[in-house]
Amino acid sequence: MKFLLVILILATNAFSEEDLTPADYDSRTDSISEKYEAGAHLIFDCEDDHWACVLAEDSVTCEEKRELALRNGERDLPCAHLGQMPSKRSCFQKSLYLTGQAHGKRFCLSDARKKEVIP
């Protein structure tokens, strides 16, 4: 039985992490969806209705899309950048908390739309 256990342990360690990693994988980034890579910037994606911790570039894109929507007088906004957290981990913890609180959708409404929805 011990021999079988030793064989099993050796077999699972036979492949290094490099052997199992695709050639184009970049360990400095973490893809969390087709739209985002993980980072310390907390946003709410109003189009897909979820919190995300994204890279700075994605948060800038979010802010630009939001500003454009506001300039165009849109009532429903595409996303909201809530700020930069100290780390990816703290961002993820904050997003878990906010998911449980169901606060996301309120960031998707322009001020004009809030006045319509909330008397």
pLDDT tens for 32-44 read 777 888 999 999 9
Other CB atoms within 10 Å distance of the CB of residue 13: 8
Give yes or no for a contact between 97 and 80, defined as CB atoms under 8 angstroms apart: no
Return per-residue pLDDT of the chain as tens, 119 residues: 544 444 545 555 554 444 544 554 455 567 777 788 899 999 999 999 999 999 999 999 999 999 999 999 888 899 999 999 999 999 999 999 998 887 778 888 877 666 665 55
Other CB atoms within 10 Å distance of the CB of residue 104: 19
Q: Domain spans of the chain?
A: 36-119
pLDDT tens for 56-77 read 999 999 999 999 999 998 888 9
